[in-house]
Structure 1
């Protein structure tokens, strides 16, 4: 796994100039017809629209984690995950993401949820099964149920759903750059190139500021 991450980081550090002439609307990324306002105009906002139950999201995650390391000290880039709800079975996972975020343990449970679902074959698609899972991180069942059904979680779900619809995202995983561009494996030519395109778009947006 360490070798994989090292290889991914090296790939993501390839100079952006080598890709600049290759990317355009429809080739590497798709331009959003009506740009969506970002939270902080002083930064370039990057959002990964995902679903814990999505095998494609699971396979992209090592690339996402490797890329996050390359921007760890870049205070001009703001990255966040944004869970999608494109089906009834997606809702519990989205709510679990926001519960973890509100409790300050999202970084601890994110990879573990993927592993539980895609490696250990645990479904984790009900409130009770997720409550039992969160108990492993010191969250009581009462606290989990309270947060799972809270106004704060519902509010974040509604805000995310509105943004995802405004972006025009139709599948996961999709990376949204600064509310203006969509990048996925199809437009970028594979998972291994997604964050090269993202880096190109970040540089493009930084130059436009």
Structure 2
């Protein structure tokens, strides 16, 4: 039931579909303005950010759709990811640490899709089995062993995972999520200024259309 509700919230199962053309999307209904705007890392790019967790079943189901959106972004836009950590029971803090560690070691993109499979496809990092939280839960050592096939040595991974730099990135991610008023995953943030999810958009097709509309809007000469 939880997974179905989560998927419905992002428009990945039957949901009301909003029919609108470019320019008819309404701020405050289909997407929400973030005040004050959040700083972005790349001044020359429009940043499209997915707030997600590897431990989130809706994010796992949405991953192929997010990849399609990424492929449709214009050359002046870039997809980024901010992992959430609010669900400690299903190891979200661990997976937040894992993402930033893999990113620091240059293997996050290569392993991104497979991380979902390792958690939700019956792989070695599963957190829920037969509808129940798995015990014992995966550890950072388990995650480090998983990333070895992508070229990261387990010892390097665990050492990096506990570093000051990773702890700082995790705190910044938590701050970004709080400032953007993100309450569920997956949520999309466009250029630090706008937030939307499946409930506001009505369907994944609408999420994609709204994101591309907002990217176009952000790309227009100021």
Q: Deviations over 1:57-99 (max 9, x none)?
A: 111111111121123x60x212211101113221110111111
Q: 1:197 deviation in Å? A: 0.7
Whole-Å Cα distance in 2 between the matches of residues 119 and 179 of structure 1? 32
Correspondence 1:177 to 2:187: no
Please, what TM-score do these two structures have when normalized by structure 2?
A: 0.79
**Which residue does the alignment assign to 2:126?**
123
Contact 1:96/1:130 (<8 A) preserved: yes
- What is the RMSD computed on CA atoms of the aligned residues? 1.7
Instruction: Report what 2:62 is aligned to.
Output: 60
SS of 2:86's equivalent in the other structure is coil
Instruction: State the 4+ residue runs in structure 1 displaced beyond 3 angstroms.
Output: none
Unaligned runs of 5+ in 1: 1-17
SS in 2 for 1:38: coil
- After TM superposition, give the deviation of residue 23 of structure 1 in Å: 0.4
Partners of 1:46 and 1:109 lie apart in 2 by: 20
Shift of 1:43: 2.4
Name the structure 1 match of 2:28.
26
Residue in structure 1 matched with residue 115 of structure 2 by the alignment: 113
Q: 2:44 aligns with which of 17, 42, 45?
A: 42
1:163 deviation in Å? 1.2
Report the Cα offset of residue 41 of structure 1.
3.3
Name which of structure 1's ranges 108-117 and 83-92 shifts more when overlaid on structure 2. Answer: 83-92
> Runs of 5+ in structure 2 lacking a partner?
1-19, 128-137
What corresponds to 2:167 in structure 1?
Answer: 154
What are the equivalent positions in structure 2 for 1:77-88 lying under 5 Å apart? Answer: 77-88=77-88
Write 1 or 2 for the structure with the bigger share of helix.
Answer: 1
TM-score, structure 1 normalization = 0.84
Aligned to 2:134: none
Contact 1:100 1:106 in 2 (8 A): yes
Question: Which segment drifts farther, 100-109 or 115-124?
Answer: 115-124
Give 2:72's match in structure 1, choosing from 70, 73, 89: 70
Aligned mate of 2:95, from 79, 83, 93: 93
Q: Does 1:135 align with 2:148?
A: yes
Deviations 1:141-198 (A, max 9, x none): 2111101111121111111111111111111100001111101111111223211110
* Conservation of the 8 A alpha-carbon contact between 1:63 and 1:192: no
Aligned length: 190
**Secondary structure of residue in 2 paired with 1:81:** strand
The residue aligned with 2:177 is 164
